[in-house]
């Protein structure tokens, strides 16, 4: 697999097209849930994402988002939305941390597919420091939204 192909793995390209959880307006937030929202801008490119999380009893019921950006950022939003729904807040936080470490590793850390699921496909991104922000954009937004939901 070429460097480029390891960046744009098929899973990433697929997620970037069939975007899980995309559309804040399409489905209402579950009633009774604690809601948190976060809007993040990638300052290098100007791309933006808005994420809404709904938390019930420490469990994430729903992650919905709107945004526009490159394949990496859209796929990352799709993946966390899929991965996060149904997770405990603490567990997802831990996964976000694991993902962040993976992204910062400059290719030195092996992704654990058991923990990260489809997000393991992003390991190639860590070799492209300029693209790490793309992968992190929605994940950071989820992190902030969770903090708001719990505040």
CB of 19 to other proteins, least distance (A): 13
Query: What does the alpha-carbon distance between residue 55 and residue 86 come to, in Å, rounded to a whole number?
Result: 9
Say if CB 118 and CB 83 are below 8 A apart: yes
Q: Which of 20, 34, 61, 69 binds ligand FES (CB under 6 A)?
A: 69
Rule CB under 8 A: say whether 108 interacts with other proteins. Answer: no
Cα–Cα distance for residue pair 64/20, rounded to 1 Å: 8
What backbone torsions phi and psi does residue 40 show, to the nearest 5 degrees?
A: -120, 140
Residue 2, interface with other proteins (CB under 8 A)?
Answer: yes
* Residue number, nearest CB to ligand FES: 134
Positions that interact with other proteins (CB under 8 A): 2-4, 7-8, 13, 17, 41, 43-47, 68-72, 128-131, 134
């Amino acid at each position: 697999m070429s460097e480029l192909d390891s960046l744009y793995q098929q899973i990433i390209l697929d997620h970037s097209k069939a975007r899980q959880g995309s559309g804040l307006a399409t489905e209402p937030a579950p009633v009774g849930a604690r809601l948190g929202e976060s809007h993040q801008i990638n300052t290098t490119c100007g791309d933006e994402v808005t994420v809404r999380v709904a938390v019930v009893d420490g469990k994430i019921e729903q992650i919905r988002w709107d945004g526009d950006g490159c394949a990496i950022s859209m796929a990352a939003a799709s993946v966390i939305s899929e991965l996060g729904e149904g997770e405990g807040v603490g567990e997802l936080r831990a996964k976000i941390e694991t993902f962040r470490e993976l992204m910062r590793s400059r290719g030195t850390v092996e992704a654990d597919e058991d923990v990260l699921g489809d997000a393991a496909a992003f390991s190639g991104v860590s070799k492209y420091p300029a693209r790490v922000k793309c992968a992190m954009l929605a994940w950071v937004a989820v992190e902030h939204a969770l903090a708001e939901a719990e505040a």
